[in-house]
Structure 1
């Protein structure tokens, strides 16, 4: 659930490759860097693991960062016909078990995965940046059928234009459609553009899960792990507006809105600021454990 495409997102970093098998037999790849307690990062929609290189690099002196290559991407297996949020959680749990990690950060759709992981098990620290949560219909996905049709017709630029215009994730406000079309065209060029085209077919199922999981939010009261919910002041209100609701509902959660940041802060615009939020929150939880 990110701005489709990613210009210059990769970072020079000495990744270590890993692979696990999820509960349904799907291979799930992940990239690792750093040393210290294990922190699993769950990417957003239309994102690859390497897009979080800048974030990982800023955390790697303190933590061993493991970024999941979510199913349907890279060397990981396909989404599969029985795709669901439960499968995404299975994948993340498999990486956590394999790496001995007990810290989780999710971005956007990956933040929704992190919250549902929190429904399955307790973790030392659970962090999410603008999780793709829909509460009482807050996430408007009426554009999805048009997007899916255009994608099936091979009209990638038109499909991406629809996505960008209706999700408002690109920081260009309510620009004319022609502006979104120009941005979509640019984002589909070069190596990053090929990557984006390859990932676009994963979007309908993932947005479909956001819609399926729409609720009054009360289910998240069962997420009892210490949790930090982060939003950007420049992001659409349908993403940031649910954070206070979630923080009130979850028994050990707080939320923060960071000035000047937008939806792409963790992977593109401000990984240093997001990394500092992550580090500070984790340290507080680890210090609290030692003090008990």
Structure 2
């Protein structure tokens, strides 16, 4: 049953507000509204098809699309929008205009649109507020069926996203000790293996790796708390993330292997240290310890500064600070990163960056790893990319000296991005170590 659409007109402000509560997570709805592969599946009234020619979701970015009737008529509308504000994952503001087939603006067709995504206990409230230049334009929009069109679009959005959640990327949930809902996918057969993602990543970033590993494992690929389709509960503590993994282990039958990448590898270490024989083996890709002068250490107030940026609503600045101080990326390259669509996703996860800072603790201070930090005696494979920075090789060497059943493996031609760029190579290294 579809939820009620609320429609309000304000002639004095020349505004039309169309609102719907949907039983879907706000971050998931945001993805459906800002990624071309999703929006083409639902945008527009029923019996119309949307084609996206450009969609650059950032201030000053352009969204060009067309709407064509499915009845084989020649009726087709071209539209061009320019984003004024983008606050991931809460707010979009853009100026939308009709255009001709050459993308020239149709005179007097401007619509100033604000889309708000408000987290509610039952899901998300979506509010589309469209302001017109004149009352006449507002009346014309109503006469053209704009209200009915957006109502259809809401229906299509709900149906599409609900089907997506129940499709090939279907996610189940398990409840952690503090009530947080942890969403995960499950695929394959064999021993249980849980994928623990790095900072600024969710389960989607490891989907190809999960597929490769599922040949020999039952792979549980989950969204860490506060990410993707998992919920969150304050206050944060590293122990709560260990409890999330413990809840997944219960689902998996009481014991599992862990594969962690980057800061996720350190969370996997912490989990193995606390849960003992409930972890069968560890596979760690490039834990980012900074134990010498191979690169500058992370500032001592790193987590505090990240939290202050998030509290002030400066998500993009938080990601930039993370990229500069935690990843060590030179400033001249960050501009290129901002131009990539992945920056928007990192912004949507920015509130969790401090979590990984707490997981890393003092291990990025430039000092040697503390002796006997992890009491782990299970088989452990520590992997690095051949082309990765020296800090990762130094970190792996230091860690293997602390773990009695650990071995190191180098992936030829790879770097820190191997989880996404070389999932087959990582899976082979795991299989070879297992055998």
- Are residues 252 and 220 of structure 1, via their aligned partners in 2, closer, same or farther at CA, if it must alter by over 3 Å? farther
Query: 1:131 Cα shift?
Result: 2.0
Decide whether aligned partners of structure 1 residues 84 and 136 sit closer, same or farther in structure 2, where only a CA change above 3 A counts.
farther
- Alignment: residue pair count: 262
Distance 2:363 2:333 in 1: 32
In structure 2, distance between residues paired with 1:147 and 1:27: 25
TM-score (norm 2): 0.55
**Who is 2:199 aligned against?**
45
| 1:73-92 aligned within 5 A | 73-78=227-232, 80-81=234-235, 83-92=236-245
Which structure would you say has the larger Rg? 2
- Contact 1:141-1:207 within 8 A present in 2 as well: no
**In the aligned structure 2, how far is the partner of 1:16 from the partner of 1:279?**
26
In structure 2, stretches of 5+ residues that fail to align are 1-34, 36-166
Give the aligned partner of residue 128 of structure 1. Answer: 284
8 Å Cα contact 1:169-1:263 kept in structure 2: no
Cα deviation, 1:96-134, whole Å, max 9, x if unaligned, reads: 111124211111111011111111212322111012445
1:251 match: secondary structure: coil
SS at match of 1:39: strand
The question of 1:276 aligning with 2:410 is answered: no
Alpha-carbon deviation of 1:75?
2.3
1:204 to 333, 354, 379: 354
Matched, 1:94 2:244: no
Unaligned segments of structure 1, at least 5 residues: 1-6, 8-12, 285-292
The structure, 1 or 2, with the larger RCO (C-alpha pairs under 8 Å, 6+ apart) is 1
Indicate the structure with greater helix content.
1
Q: Structure 1 length as normaliser, TM-score?
A: 0.79
Does 2:215 align with 1:67? no
Q: Which secondary structure does the structure 1 equivalent of 2:171 belong to?
A: strand
Q: Please, what is the CA RMSD of the aligned residues?
A: 2.8
Deviation at 1:17, TM superposition (A): 1.8
Q: Which has the higher strand share?
A: 2
User: What is the aligned counterpart of 1:164 among 309, 323, 339?
Assistant: 323
Contact residue 197 and residue 260 of structure 2 kept, 8 A: yes
How far apart are the structure 2 equivalents of 1:96 and 1:206?
Answer: 21
Q: 5 Å matches for 1:1-292?
A: 14-78=168-232, 80-81=234-235, 83-100=236-253, 101-120=255-274, 121-122=276-277, 123-133=279-289, 135=291, 140-142=297-299, 144=302, 147-168=306-327, 174=330, 177-183=331-337, 185-187=338-340, 189=341, 192-212=342-362, 216-266=369-419, 268-282=420-434, 284=435
